[in-house]
Structure 1
Amino acid sequence: MRRATRMATTDEQLRLMTRVARMYHERGMRQPQIAEELRISQPRVSRLLKQAVELGIVRTIVVPPAGVFTDLEEAVQTRYGLRDMAIVDVEGEGEEVLPALGAATAVYLETTLMEGDRVGISSWSATLLATVEAMRSKPGGRFLEQVVQLVGGVGDPKVQVQATRLMGRLADITGAEPIFISAPGVVGNRAARDAIVADPKVADVIASWDRLTVALVGIGSLEPSPLLRQSGNIFSAEEQEELRRLGGVGDISLHFFDEDGTLLNTDLDERVIGIAPDTFRGIPRRIGVAGGHRKYAAIRAALRGGWIDVLITDLGVARRLADEPDRSTP
């Protein structure tokens, strides 16, 4: 079709088309100026510019600026079936990547959260704390409906203040109603858990998880983060060793999975007061924020298992994810 169009175009038309294209794209002239200088109508200028694109005389090339990794983002999205991804131009471990991840996630949330969203958040995450500290209020005040805690938060008072600050600040910035769960993240046995979740106040929070539109979570490695370790909301060293023996590599909201992202079949889940895996997977948009090579296995597993559909991570992890061998290849 393009060849036939070109053959039907005379040399004089091609010359005029090329001249108009150069005046518009190279010299920055407006269409009315071009029409006046060449003494042709403005609609004809517009048609000539359109034809120049159709015939390949004008080609648009997008050149990403430094620090933007669109091709890499698209490669990881395609491989793991993500709806979106953001890569931060930083590499390293822990404290080295945390500030940049937090700042990038803040910008992502500011531009993608919608009015009326109900956001569930895992409160024991230093990265998410850095995120909300970097966020700015939107003009016009309230736009989120609720900010809801996804896992129990009662722990060491000195550390609890950090989790409360995370939830409180996000609620303040967005004008949302904060909903805290007044219960520990981990209890001694199933009977204790059943008694706590039967409390009407706790039951109301659990019911709100079904109405969430967005989840914002950290991705934990098998080794608990310093913040979570200090909180007291963790399993014992013996239980962590058992998770390791079963092939555990990471967790989301204290639900542990293996390298394929498959939930580990243990009775530990019965001791967690937090959102159930099936309820979590039912949230329409699930944003995972994590970085550093120490967390690579956990991040990859969360992607393989479909725990999250949006990933915000650092450049080093993203490159490793893109270079991961195709598991379908023998």
Structure 2
Amino acid sequence: MLTAPSKTRYSEAMPSTDALAVQVARLYYHQNLTTEKIAAELGLSRPKVSRLLTHARKTGLVEIRIHDPQESSRSLESLLTEHFQLDRVHVVLTPENATEAECMQRVAVYAAHHAATLIQPGMTVGLAWGTTLNLLSQHLQPRPTPGVKLVQLNGSGNPSNFISDHALGLLQRFGDSFQAALNPFPVPAFFDHPETKTALWKERSIQRVLDLQQKADLLLYSVGSAKASVPSYVHAAPYLDPEDLQEMQNMQVVGDIATVFFREDGSFDGIPLNRRASGPDLGLFKNRKGAVCIVAGVSKALALWGALRGGLMSELIVDDKTVRKVLEFSGVK
């Protein structure tokens, strides 16, 4: 995989040939943009883009990684890493005028490349279905990896469809890419009654899936938000009743992970809807190695801020605009 440190502003003039070559290489290798599109985006000629790519390869800026000699110690990644004590942050650069859908596309492409480096032989990988992970799964490249198990982290059934094609399709694409064993979770996203969930969780077949979730080596998930410009699937599909939405408002909910809801400070206790949710207790993600969250879009910034404050990830892949908004919420400059 190719990586490079981010600059603090995508549109600022880059001072050297090496630095500009790094920017072009990231767009070309991580975002799969053509030289024509890169030229249009950066205001360069296509021959100039080609020369910069050649320069990057010849000078060693592009090997397995992109080495950026101009990296600032106070980059967006380092600011977020230090403030929230994360293991690693990946900031995906986006054009100034990019829509949130375009930002999500770029983040999903990057995350698909990165996921392929994280998933190793013999791993158990937990996947939470949703809009972002669904898009990521569409950009995975075949990489057979022996002994990988995939486990669905939250049920996807709703009153009109007990087994969601959305969730199963995501799981199947991961399975096809890594030649992995699939462990779906065929239960509703939300039970009508907490007692039903309590009883079902005693079944051995369900306990097997729950045990895989708890023992997962890697968790891949996003943050959902009712305010997202690109609707989170749990809010776009028929999962939540008006009463549920009112309850979320009363509880000051700002987001969810695997259909389990949390507040602006990252707390998730005492939210009645969580008692009916089939997703794992958010303690599963809290300060855990291998908890990788993928988020795109400024409209999700408040939800991401809450998740970060709650320590609900160890690694984050995110676009630059959303990072700046989160840092603004945090008072970090």
TM exceeding 0.5:
yes
- Residue 324 of structure 2 aligns with an amino acid whose one-letter code is R
Query: CA 1:230–1:199 in 2, change beyond 3 Å: closer, same or farther?
Result: farther
The whole-number CA distance in structure 2 between the counterparts of 1:203 and 1:61 is 47
SS at match of 1:95: helix
Query: CA 1:267–1:325 in 2, change beyond 3 Å: closer, same or farther?
Result: closer
TM-score of the superposed pair, with normalisation by structure 2: 0.71
- Residue 111 of structure 1 aligns with an amino acid whose one-letter code is T
Q: Is the 8 A contact 1:121 1:149 kept in 2?
A: yes
Matched, 1:127 2:171: no
Q: Which residue of 2 aligns with 1:306?
A: 311
Q: Which residue of 2 aligns with 1:63?
A: 70
Q: Is the 8 A contact 2:187 2:278 kept in 1?
A: yes
SS at match of 1:192: helix
Q: Which residue of 2 aligns with 1:46?
A: none
Query: CA 1:189–1:105 in 2, change beyond 3 Å: closer, same or farther?
Result: same
The whole-number CA distance in structure 2 between the counterparts of 1:316 and 1:159 is 35
The Cα offsets for residues 196-218 of structure 1, whole Å up to 9 and x where unpaired, read as 22333222111211211111111
SS at match of 2:80: helix
Q: Is the 8 A contact 2:226 2:235 kept in 1?
A: no
SS at match of 2:192: coil
- Deviation for aligned residue 1:134: 0.7
SS at match of 1:220: coil
Matches within 5 A, 1:282-301: 283-301=288-306
User: More displaced, 149-158 or 252-261?
Assistant: 149-158
Q: Which residue of 2 aligns with 1:137?
A: 142
Query: CA 1:325–1:170 in 2, change beyond 3 Å: closer, same or farther?
Result: closer
Matched, 1:118 2:129: no
Matches within 5 A, 1:22-61: none
Query: CA 1:309–1:280 in 2, change beyond 3 Å: closer, same or farther?
Result: closer
The whole-number CA distance in structure 1 between the counterparts of 2:179 and 2:73 is 33
Q: Which residue of 2 aligns with 1:273?
A: 278
- 1:257 pairs, out of 262, 285, 298, with 262
The Cα offsets for residues 45-79 of structure 1, whole Å up to 9 and x where unpaired, read as xxxxxxxxxxxxxxx98135xxx998211111111
Q: Which residue of 2 aligns with 1:205?
A: 209
The whole-number CA distance in structure 1 between the counterparts of 2:103 and 2:141 is 21
The Cα offsets for residues 130-187 of structure 1, whole Å up to 9 and x where unpaired, read as 111111122xx22452111000122344982121110011112112211001111101
Q: Higher Cα Rg: structure 1 or 2?
A: 1
- Deviation for aligned residue 1:266: 2.3
The whole-number CA distance in structure 2 between the counterparts of 1:250 and 1:318 is 17
- 2:323 pairs, out of 312, 315, 318, with 318
The whole-number CA distance in structure 2 between the counterparts of 1:89 and 1:96 is 11
- Residue 151 of structure 2 aligns with an amino acid whose one-letter code is V
- Deviation for aligned residue 1:325: 4.4
- 2:167 pairs, out of 160, 163, 166, with 163
Q: Which residue of 2 aligns with 1:195?
A: 199
Q: Is the 8 A contact 1:215 1:283 kept in 2?
A: no
Matches within 5 A, 1:75-114: 75-90=79-94, 92-114=98-120
Matches within 5 A, 1:170-249: 170-223=174-227, 225=231, 227-232=233-238, 234-249=239-254
Query: CA 1:77–1:280 in 2, change beyond 3 Å: closer, same or farther?
Result: closer
The whole-number CA distance in structure 2 between the counterparts of 1:267 and 1:322 is 30
Structure 2: segments with no counterpart, 5+ residues: 1-66
Task: Tell me how many residue pairs correspond in the alignment.
Answer: 262
Which contiguous aligned blocks of 4+ residues in structure 1 show a shift greater than 6 angstroms?
Answer: none
- Residue 272 of structure 1 aligns with an amino acid whose one-letter code is A
Query: CA 1:282–1:88 in 2, change beyond 3 Å: closer, same or farther?
Result: closer
- Residue 69 of structure 2 aligns with an amino acid whose one-letter code is V
Query: CA 1:317–1:159 in 2, change beyond 3 Å: closer, same or farther?
Result: farther
The whole-number CA distance in structure 2 between the counterparts of 1:164 and 1:136 is 18
Identity %: 21
Q: Which residue of 2 aligns with 1:42?
A: none
- Residue 220 of structure 1 aligns with an amino acid whose one-letter code is G
Structure 1: segments with no counterpart, 5+ residues: 1-59
- Deviation for aligned residue 1:282: 6.9
Query: CA 1:200–1:244 in 2, change beyond 3 Å: closer, same or farther?
Result: same
SS at match of 1:294: helix
The whole-number CA distance in structure 1 between the counterparts of 2:330 and 2:161 is 45
The whole-number CA distance in structure 2 between the counterparts of 1:320 and 1:145 is 36
Query: CA 1:301–1:242 in 2, change beyond 3 Å: closer, same or farther?
Result: same
Q: Which residue of 1 aligns with 2:150?
A: 147
